């Protein structure tokens, strides 16, 4: 079934492997093999690989750092495209609108496959402020835009100027901030099935010591409050309006609740962790239990932030 796709990829010089274990490519450390695992080296190869998948009728999924996803135990029937395999550079241009303002703006252009941690360190090294909130978010630029990632009072929508995407029709399109429909964990990229290729960010020049101090402060908060010592997909549930998911789960008496190898973190109840070789089934059953019990006690529906990929 996949031979024609593999042959097309090989002829185009696009690297791919068969039966790649997806547990090795996500932060939950859960998931079976992908039928085809494609590793494009740049945007051109990415666009061609997507076109080949469509031509051959093979379903595909674009994978960044794998920080917000749960793959099923049986794996993925189709092709997974690894965006982190892309060689991604960063460009920066300074713009001084007026000496009287005293503000220096920095337009930073970056590819979708770059990890946020790398981008944050680039900003620090160039004394650019605005990205501190993203330090420690275990994702890529493309994934962060897809879901308008945010933390500690900041979101991607605060710093985005424009995004270049690949549409489902195979066309490249530039979208400006006002066209991206960035909301709480959503965007037009997510809603219309676009693929992020590149982004332009608006940052400002700042004091490098103050930037580093803020990054260190947020890192300390994450280490202290989040169960980073265990594999997880980050915050499992969206914040219900007027509530905090972790507090609801704690008040429902579910701190440390466990199904198989999956557990509600004792450190932060908003996280489901892979404590002891959990399966995807363990995680899904635990999530369903949490949703049911919280609703029974408080009549609040908890929706997941984690994306489930497979037959659940």
Q: Which residues participate in catalysis according to the annotation?
A: 185, 235, 305
How many Å apart are CA 62 and CA 231, to the nearest integer? 21
Task: Please report, for residues 95, 236, 244, 302, 305, the alpha-carbon distance to residue 292 in angstroms, rounded to integers and kept in the order given.
Answer: 52, 15, 16, 9, 17
Q: Give the whole-angstrom CA distance, residue 11 versus residue 8.
A: 5
Q: Would you give the DSSP letter of residue 12?
A: T
Q: Beta strand pairing status for 33-39 and 15-21?
A: antiparallel
- Nearest-angstrom CA–CA distance, 188 and 160: 14
Q: What are phi and psi of 228, to 5 degrees?
A: -70, -10
Neighbouring residues of 157: CB distance < 8 A, sequence distance ≥ 6? 148, 150, 177, 180, 182
Cβ-based neighbours of 224, under 8 Å, separated by 6 or more: none
State the maximum Cα–Cα separation within the chain, in Å, rounded to a whole number: 64
State both tokens at 192.
């219309």
Structure tokens at 273: 């962790």
CA–CA dist 71, 233 (Å, integer)? 11
Tokens standing for residue 292: 């049911």
214-223 contact pairs (CB < 8 A, 24+): 214/132, 215/120, 215/124, 215/132, 215/135, 218/132, 218/133, 218/135, 218/136, 218/151, 218/152, 219/135, 219/136, 221/152, 222/136
């Amino acid at each position: 079934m996949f031979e024609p796709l593999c042959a097309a990829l090989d002829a185009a010089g696009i690297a791919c492997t068969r039966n790649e274990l997806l547990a090795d490519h996500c932060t939950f450390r859960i998931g079976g093999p992908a039928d085809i695992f494609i590793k494009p080296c740049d945007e051109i190869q990415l666009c061609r690989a997507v076109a080949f998948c469509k031509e051959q009728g093979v379903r595909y999924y674009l994978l960044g750092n794998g920080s917000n996803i749960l793959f099923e135990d049986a794996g993925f029937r189709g092709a997974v495209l690894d965006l982190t395999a892309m060689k991604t550079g960063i460009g920066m241009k300074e713009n001084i609108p007026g000496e009287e303002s005293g503000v220096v703006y920095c337009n930073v252009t970056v590819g979708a496959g770059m990890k946020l941690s790398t981008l944050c360190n680039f900003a620090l090294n160039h004394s650019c402020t605005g990205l501190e909130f993203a330090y420690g978010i275990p994702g890529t630029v493309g994934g962060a835009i897809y879901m308008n990632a945010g933390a500690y009072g900041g979101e991607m929508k605060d710093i985005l100027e424009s995004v270049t995407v690949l549409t489902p029709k195979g066309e490249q399109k530039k979208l400006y901030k006002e066209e991206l429909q960035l909301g709480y964990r959503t965007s037009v990229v997510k809603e219309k099935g676009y693929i992020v290729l590149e982004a332009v960010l608006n940052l400002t020049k700042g004091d490098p010591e103050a930037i580093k101090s803020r990054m260190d402060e947020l890192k300390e908060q994450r280490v202290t409050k989040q169960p980073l010592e265990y594999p997880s997909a980050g915050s499992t549930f969206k914040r219900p309006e007027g509530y905090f998911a972790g507090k609801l789960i704690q008040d429902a008496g579910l701190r440390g609740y466990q199904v198989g190898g999956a557990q509600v973190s004792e450190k932060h109840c908003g996280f489901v962790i892979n404590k002891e070789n959990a399966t995807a089934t363990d995680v899904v059953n635990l999530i369903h239990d949490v949703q049911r019990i919280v609703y029974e006690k408080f009549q609040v529906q908890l929706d997941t932030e984690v994306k489930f990929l497979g037959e659940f």
